[in-house]
Amino acid sequence: MMMGARVAETTAIEWTDATINFWWGCSKVSLGCEHCYAEAWAKRVGEQLFGVGVPRRKVKSAWTALRKLHHNAPAFDQQHGRRRRVFLQSMSDLFDKEVPEEWFDEAWGGVTFAHGVDIQIVTKRVSYVEKRLDGREWPKHAGLIISVVNQDEADRDIPRLIDLKARLGIPWIGLSMEPLLGAVVLRPEWLAALDWVIVGGESGPHARPMHPDWVISLRDQCEAAGVPFFFKQWGEWLPVHVDNDVRWSGIEFRKVGKKAAGRRLHGQEHNGFPL
């Protein structure tokens, strides 16, 4: 039952329309993984699928759901005036090294098959992408997003992503900067190659606050370079100017929860998408 819950034609994730998972489970490789939402969700429904050496769980309904989205694409396109966006592996990582090769083969088969929708792939393992592909072509209806939570990850992984875009012919690439854990300066040559930047704060009981200056800086960098910017959420902590729970570099934060904190920056939503 749990597995079917994350093969969905609708989703609460603001930057996509649907989620498809060929398996659940992952292991932590980044500071951003520390309070993983997928791991927490799995534990709430009694599943232990996250960690090094922990077996992942196949989702039997993935192909059926993906075929349905693909075959319903013309009706969706006509109704919405655009193609449906599908986030692949929202509860895992497509390029997880611990997943059997045949599982990846099946999932990649799904990626190439579903050309009626726009596939969004997010990974924390950009250095393993080309090895896992092993000569397979990258389809024109899929984009690649990497997770970047601080400057160190940006410096290490964004050049790798841009190199993959050029060599594999990836139509668009982006950054998922959620949870954003520090200020990040995007170099001009990076911004010239990037097609999308998503920024968001952390949610959950152990969430870390996100300084508004970090978000504002990234918004301004993207706007100056003409890169679509999407502000997903403040997360658990909302910056305010009254006495409350946390003080941080002159900014005060109140722990109000994701829903109450919302996703407005200076009173405005930022909903940029790649063309």
Tally Cβ neighbours within 10 Å of residue 159.
15
Percent of the chain with pLDDT over 70: 93
d(CA 217, CA 222): 9
Residue pair 172/137 in contact by the 8 Å Cβ criterion: no
* Tokens 């929202």 belong to residue: 90
Q: What is the mean pLDDT of residues 205-224?
A: 96
- pTM to 2 decimals? 0.94
Please give the angle made by the CA atoms of 20, 21 and 24, to the nearest 5 degrees.
Answer: 155
Amino acid at 250: G
| CA–CA dist 253, 246 (Å, integer) | 5
Are the C-beta atoms of 27 and 48 separated by less than 8 Å? no
Question: According to the model, what pLDDT value does residue 48 have?
Answer: 87
- In degrees and rounded to multiples of 5, residue 4 shows phi and psi of -65, -25
d(CA 196, CA 230): 8
Over residues 57-112, the pLDDT tens digits come to 999 999 999 999 999 999 999 999 999 999 999 999 999 999 999 999 999 999 99
